[in-house]
């Protein structure tokens, strides 16, 4: 290993330049994705997971227990994900900016980890083949991989969507586990044990965040086995025996197996939102294989030509393998697969890379759910295997290429990254709010089923903000387009119930005579938090209610009272003044006098210095 260490020192100036390039890449990422900080929540799982989730609030013992046992609410075992949300709530309440900032920060951290992991993989690959380690070239290839992954517009969904917090988080732990596990091979002392323990802990956190990195152990095993096949020159003799290697990595497979078992159990158990998993008689093995065969190549192909990103695709029934056009599609996939295998046999680490990709995409193959939609967010983690495979292939080719060819290759990679980066802003706007997202989906999906699903969701989003005229107008438009009346009936009834809630009498009537249902929901959560003594949660929920409907006078009145009781008299007075200005005659003299008297007594209790 000493010889390899000496060789690693070559080209350190170029490596330093690539690290400065990484700093520039992170600055570009921050600039490209800065608009998401002004985005709100969308009624696309944010309502279920975040602002409408009754279990989210300040971290308490009860909520900590729920994070580990709440599979009846969401059919996943994901305690780390829920605890992350509660930590974010503790930092900034139910404020969308906090969640979007977290997603952006985690994506930046993952981009750094992709760079570090690619650099390490390239260094180990060179040593396993007994080649000189060119640190400069490897650093630039790793930077290209990080740029192509980090700037790819397919990443936008996981950053611009608050509920996307799951994917950067789970990928962060998986990438850290991979780097720690591979870093062991550069040491021959006790540090190896500590690095392995840290890798196991990181992967355990990944498995407890969301069950989308279950293929990580197989991907790691494939790459280490390929290192071992390179020979003993690089100190990888222990990896040559794949059976021994599998036993040594059994702890990773055990974690993945436990996570899989727990999540399959949670998926088939009764829960609040998801229908039961389809039985094998309904969704046959042949249908499942056909669906997976369409889905698995999707994430790699989208990395090459992203086009318009979208959280959902048009629904397609999984046909049988022997039926046309499924048979033709399967024949094409067989040709592509054979070509990929042939390429993998020649490319450095190609077979290992193909195995890693298949393992990474396995949780997104659609074997358990029908119908399954290949979504852009599902490509977040598998995309790492694609760029790492490209980095290994590029490094092997560059070592034999001429100088001019290297410059051409660098120019192509740079142009590719610029194209990706230029595509990002157009993708972010789709996630600004529910109106933008559902409007986009309703206009782009070709199937009437998709248009009805997301057109009615757009109508519901309008109703939630209190615009019932616009909601009903959109429902009428869908009916005019030929939508099945039965498909519209449920949403029409829901809109009617929301309007009834909005027009329910309040102690201080709004000038418009209604309150936006979004504001009512936040108000109810605020009262719950206040009753539980959770001051921060109640404060942010009240602010959320008033942001949804500034003329929600009952919410402003109750918020002023609670602010005074918390000793925040100056804020209470500001809310009182705003209430008087907005409510006008709707606020009786008696109500105003009681509010003023309460704030005055709170002011005296704090010494008048608040």
pLDDT tens per residue, range 58-110:
888 999 999 998 888 888 899 999 999 999 998 888 889 999 999 999 999 99
Domain contains 599: yes
Domain contains 508: no
Q: What is the mean pLDDT of the chain?
A: 84
pLDDT tens figures, 349-387: 667 778 888 899 988 888 877 777 788 889 899 999 988
Domain contains 393: yes
Q: Last residue of a domain, which of 502, 531, 551?
A: 502
Give the CA distances from residue 211 to residues 42, 103, 254, 266, 534, in Å, rounded to whole numbers and listed in that order.
23, 18, 14, 11, 32
pLDDT band at 126; cut points 50, 70, 90: confident
pLDDT tens figures, 10-68: 444 557 788 888 999 999 999 999 999 999 999 999 988 998 888 888 888 999 999 99
Domain contains 326: yes
Q: Last residue of a domain, which of 408, 429, 450?
A: 429
Residues 254 and 400 occupy one common structural domain? yes
Answer whether residue 402 shows pLDDT above 70: no
Q: Last residue of a domain, which of 396, 429, 462?
A: 429
Residue partners of 108: CB distance under 8 A and separation at least 6: 26, 29, 30, 150
Domain contains 555: yes
Residues 400 and 451 occupy one common structural domain? no
The CATH number for 571's domain is: 1.25.40.10
Domain contains 584: yes
Coil vs helix vs strand at 231? coil
Q: Please compute, for residue 78, the number of CA atoms within 13 A of its CA located in the half-sphere on the CB side.
A: 24
Residues 442 and 569 occupy one common structural domain? no
pLDDT at 290: 82
Task: Return the residue matching tokens 């290697």.
Answer: 245
Domain contains 510: no
Q: Is 529 exposed, middle or buried (0-12, 13-18, 19+ CB in 10 A)?
A: buried
pLDDT band at 9; cut points 50, 70, 90: very low
> Which two tokens mark 451?
């248009």
Residues 35 and 85 occupy one common structural domain? yes
* Beta strand spans in 462-552 (E): none
pLDDT at 237: 66
Alpha-carbon gap, residue 198 to 322, rounded angstroms: 48
pLDDT band at 400; cut points 50, 70, 90: low
pLDDT at 92: 83
pLDDT at 341: 56
Residues 254 and 351 occupy one common structural domain? yes
Residues 15 and 103 occupy one common structural domain? yes
pLDDT at 235: 60
Residues 118 and 17 occupy one common structural domain? yes
Residues 162 and 276 occupy one common structural domain? yes
Are the C-beta atoms of residues 125 and 392 closer than 8 Å to each other? yes
Alpha-carbon gap, residue 602 to 582, rounded angstroms: 23
Alpha-carbon gap, residue 304 to 557, rounded angstroms: 55
Q: What percent of the chain has pLDDT over 70?
A: 86
- Please give the residue that has the higher pLDDT: either 272 or 404: 404
pLDDT tens figures, 172-206: 999 999 999 999 888 877 888 899 999 999 999 99
What is the average pLDDT across 262-291? 79
Give the CA distances from residue 514 to residues 250, 389, 525, in Å, rounded to whole numbers and listed in that order.
60, 57, 19
What is the average pLDDT across 562-569? 90
pLDDT tens figures, 519-533: 888 898 899 888 888
Answer whether residue 215 shows pLDDT above 80: yes
Element (H, E) at 55: none
Residues 149 and 276 occupy one common structural domain? yes
Residues 498 and 521 occupy one common structural domain? no
Sign of the C-alpha dihedral computed for residues 540, 543, 549 and 551 taken in this order: positive
Residues 42 and 168 occupy one common structural domain? yes
Residues 356 and 391 occupy one common structural domain? yes
- Total domains in the chain come to 3
Print the domain residue range for 445.
434-502
């Amino acid at each position: 290993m000493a010889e390899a260490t000496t060789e690693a020192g070559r080209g350190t100036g170029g490596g330093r330049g690539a690290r400065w390039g990484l700093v520039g890449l992170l600055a570009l990422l921050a600039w490209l994705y800065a608009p998401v900080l002004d985005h709100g929540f969308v009624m696309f799982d944010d309502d279920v997971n975040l602002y409408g989730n009754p279990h989210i609030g300040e971290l308490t013992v009860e909520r900590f227990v729920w994070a580990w046992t709440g599979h009846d609410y969401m059919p996943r075992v994901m305690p780390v994900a829920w605890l992350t949300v509660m930590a974010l709530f503790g930092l900034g309440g139910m404020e969308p900016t906090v969640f979007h900032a977290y997603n952006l920060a985690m994506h930046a951290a993952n981009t750094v980890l992709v760079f570090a992991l690619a650099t390490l993989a390239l260094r180990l690959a060179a040593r396993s083949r007994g080649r000189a380690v060119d640190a400069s070239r490897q650093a630039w290839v790793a930077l290209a991989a990080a740029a192509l992954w980090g700037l790819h517009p397919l990443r936008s969904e996981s950053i611009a969507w608050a509920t996307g917090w799951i994917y950067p988080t789970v990928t962060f732990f998986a990438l850290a586990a991979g780097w720690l596990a591979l870093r062991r091979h550069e040491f021959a002392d006790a540090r190896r044990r500590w690095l392995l323990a840290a890798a196991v802990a990181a992967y355990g956190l990944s498995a407890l965040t969301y069950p989308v990195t279950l293929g990580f152990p197989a991907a790691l095993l494939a790459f280490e086995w390929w290192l071992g096949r390179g020979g003993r020159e690089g100190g990888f003799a222990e990896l040559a025996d794949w059976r021994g290697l599998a036993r040594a990595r059994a702890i990773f497979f055990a974690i993945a197996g436990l996570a899989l078992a727990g999540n399959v159990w949670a998926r088939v158990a009764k829960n609040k939102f998801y229908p039961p998993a389809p039985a094998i008689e309904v969704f046959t093995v042949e249908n499942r294989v056909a669906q997976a065969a369409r889905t698995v190549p999707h994430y790699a192909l989208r990395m090459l030509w992203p086009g318009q990103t979208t959280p959902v695709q048009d629904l397609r029934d999984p046909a049988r393998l022997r039926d046309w056009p499924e048979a033709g599609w399967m024949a094409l996939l067989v040709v592509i697969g054979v070509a990929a295998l042939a390429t993998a046999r020649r490319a450095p680490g190609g077979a290992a890379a193909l195995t890693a990709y298949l393992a990474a995409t396995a949780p997104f193959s659609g074997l358990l759910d029908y119908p399954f939609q290949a979504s852009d967010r599902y490509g977040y983690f598998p995309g790492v295997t694609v760029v790492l495979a490209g980095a290994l292939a590029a490094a092997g080719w560059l070592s034999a290429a001429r100088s001019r060819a290297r410059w051409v290759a660098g120019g192509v990679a740079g142009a590719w990254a610029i194209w990706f980066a230029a595509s990002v802003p157009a993708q972010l706007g789709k996630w600004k709010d529910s109106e933008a997202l559902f409007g986009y989906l309703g206009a782009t999906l070709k199937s009437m089923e998709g248009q009805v699903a997301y057109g009615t969701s757009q109508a519901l989003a309008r109703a939630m903000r209190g615009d019932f005229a616009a909601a009903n107008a959109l429902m009428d438009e869908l009916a005019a387009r030929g939508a099945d009346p039965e498909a519209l009936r449920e949403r029409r009834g829901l809109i009617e119930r929301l309007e009834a809630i909005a027009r329910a009498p309040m102690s201080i009537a709004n000038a418009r005579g209604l309150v936006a249902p979004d504001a009512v929901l936040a108000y109810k959560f605020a009262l719950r938090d206040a009753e539980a003594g959770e001051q921060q949660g109640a404060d942010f929920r009240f602010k959320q209610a008033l942001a949804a409907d500034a003329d929600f006078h009952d919410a402003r009145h109750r918020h002023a009272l609670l602010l005074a009781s918390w000793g925040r008299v100056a804020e209470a007075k500001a809310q009182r003044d705003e209430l008087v200005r907005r409510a006008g005659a709707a606020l009786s003299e008696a109500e105003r006098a009681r509010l003023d008297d309460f704030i005055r007594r709170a002011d005296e209790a704090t010494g008048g210095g608040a």
